[in-house]
Structure 1
Amino acid sequence: MKWGVIGTGNMGRILIEAWLEAGVMEQQDLYISNRSAHKSSQLKERFPDIHVAADNASLADQVDILFICVKPLDIHPLLSDISNHLHHQQCLISITSPYAVEELEDLVPCQVARIIPSITNRALTGVSLLTFGKRVSPIMKGFIEQSVKLYSVPLEIDETITRVSSDIVSCGPAFFSYLIQQFIDAACDETLITKDEATAMMTEMLIGFGTLMKQGHYTLSSLQEKVCVKGGVTGEGIQILEQELGDMFNQLFQKTHDKYAEDKREISAQLKV
């Protein structure tokens, strides 16, 4: 199989690095294209056997699986340019949530799927969210699922939970990174611990926490019960969290869904033109 990536920004690059490290494909089976030639050349320097296509159309001519890693509002004009270069045996894969696979199927003659990645995929872990269009063959679906298993846990989802699933899997690392940084900063503000010390401790705690969850030693609630001794220090800290968090996460999901709805409205306006 020949793989192609249009758009080698942050997520496109993360996927390429994960694929090649996991052995999803050989370098010579990967074709890339990017609006900025500098980003493509950087990848070419690191992976000398990959192919940098002259343009998006020529890339589409040469690949079996084509990942579209561009911003949502750039997808429609891109597909308008390359649609004539696609055929039913190929599979086009979008990584962005606002475009439903059914909408993409109306724009191209090939098979269509969506795979929403996570930055955790760079460590060959975490979840990839999969949604398949009606034209995807059983053989193509099986090949994609097996390929994704090499660098993440594939989870097929329904269109109705796309946004919230992406909030957890794709946005979640950024959300919790922000909270963790605030925790570290507060520890430094309130005590004599240094930022380096607090960061090192927090990093190891998170690795240990993730390992406990992965190995199934505790659930989230049972872990809290084990650590939070009645009348102890942890209990005092939990009380503050209960008081201060309020409906913060409810508001977070409301905000991301509002943005999602705005993106979908803008996409719909594009499709009607």
Structure 2
Amino acid sequence: MKKIGFIGYGSMGHVILNGFLNSGMLKPFNVTVSTRTPSKLSELEKNHPEVEIANDNIQTAQNSDIIFLFTGTSDVKYVIEEIKTSLSEKTHLIYISAALGMDLVGTIFDGKITKVIPSITSEVHEGVSLICHQESVTTEEADFVDNLFRTVGEVKLVDEVDLDVGADITSCSPAFIAKIFQEFSVQASNNSNFSKEEAEKMIISTLYGTSKLLYEKGYGVDDLISAVATKGGITEEGVKILDSELPELFSELFKTTIKKHQIIRRELEEQY
């Protein structure tokens, strides 16, 4: 069985690694972990005592055939350079930095590279992880990574060129959706005797039910809108407002986030 290393244990590293271990597909005695803040690993050590806690990133790399980098985008280069002498062309490196192209990573590491865009929704085994494998990654190696991520949600294989917008759809959207419904609850409270907390609770429950209708009952989006927004009714008037305002809003959202991806990418090109 291949040995798996995890470098970095922030919020996403915590969600993904624990999801892998709790699924049973990843055995704790095959896992080595290192992080800048060892105190974060106390719960992991308690729940999975067979996981090896490394003294540093070099030890993790030396112990591993496959290495997951759950570090910040700006740290990826420095971590790879730190562990480079412990890597080989057979090492499979998986990282989660959306704006960091595999071509740039390839300038400092000549092994196998996979780029993954995970989602915080993996914590509840839902949502979609976007995955892009470099050509040198074999089918067997790709399947192993894909199946690991299937233990914490769905997997969609994509071309790297689509990862910017894909990240907006799957990884950024929990924040976008939460913000939209936060504002919805504020305005509901402003126009009623409901507190913001009461409105928010009702909206979350309704959002959950709406998701189940779409996901479990097979409603199409248009079908659901038509079922609720009957002709000449109150809901239809609200939908007209959304039809008028949302296209421009979301167009601007995508333009802004894509521009930010491009800015970060140019900064990274200078760094590499």
Query: In 2, Cα distance between the equivalents of 1:49 and 1:194?
Result: 48
Q: Which amino acid aligns with 1:182?
A: E
Q: Which amino acid aligns with 1:90?
A: T
Query: In 1, Cα distance between the equivalents of 2:180 and 2:32?
Result: 38
Partner of 2:22: 21
Identity percentage of aligned residues:
30
Query: In 1, Cα distance between the equivalents of 2:169 and 2:259?
Result: 16
Query: In 2, Cα distance between the equivalents of 1:51 and 1:181?
Result: 41
**Residues 1:101 and 2:102 aligned together:** yes
Partner of 1:11: 12
Q: CA deviation at 1:10?
A: 1.3
Q: CA deviation at 1:216?
A: 4.9
Partner of 1:218: 219
Q: Is the 8 A contact 2:181 2:200 kept in 1?
A: no
Q: Secondary structure at the match of 1:247?
A: helix
Number of residue pairs matched?
A: 271
Instruction: Mark the runs of 5 or more structure 2 residues left unpaired by the alignment.
Output: none
Partner of 2:156: 155
Partner of 1:91: 92
Partner of 1:207: 208
Q: Which amino acid aligns with 1:257?
A: I
Q: CA deviation at 1:37?
A: 2.2
Query: In 2, Cα distance between the equivalents of 1:130 and 1:68?
Result: 14
* TM-score for the superposition, normalised by structure 2: 0.93
> C-alpha root-mean-square deviation of aligned residues, in Å?
1.6
Instruction: Mark the runs of 5 or more structure 1 residues left unpaired by the alignment.
Output: none
Offset from partner CA, 1:50-90 (integer Å, 9 cap, x none): 22111111100111221111111111111111111112332
Query: In 1, Cα distance between the equivalents of 2:29 and 2:200?
Result: 40
Query: In 1, Cα distance between the equivalents of 2:217 and 2:89?
Result: 43
**Aligned positions of 1:1-150 closer than 5 A:** 1-150=2-151
Partner of 2:198: 197
Query: In 1, Cα distance between the equivalents of 2:50 and 2:181?
Result: 39
Q: Secondary structure at the match of 2:132?
A: strand
* TM-score for the superposition, normalised by structure 1: 0.93
Question: Which deviates further from its counterpart, 139-148 or 192-201?
Answer: 192-201
Question: Which deviates further from its counterpart, 48-57 or 174-183?
Answer: 48-57
**Aligned positions of 1:245-264 closer than 5 A:** 245=246, 247-264=248-265
Q: CA deviation at 1:217?
A: 2.4
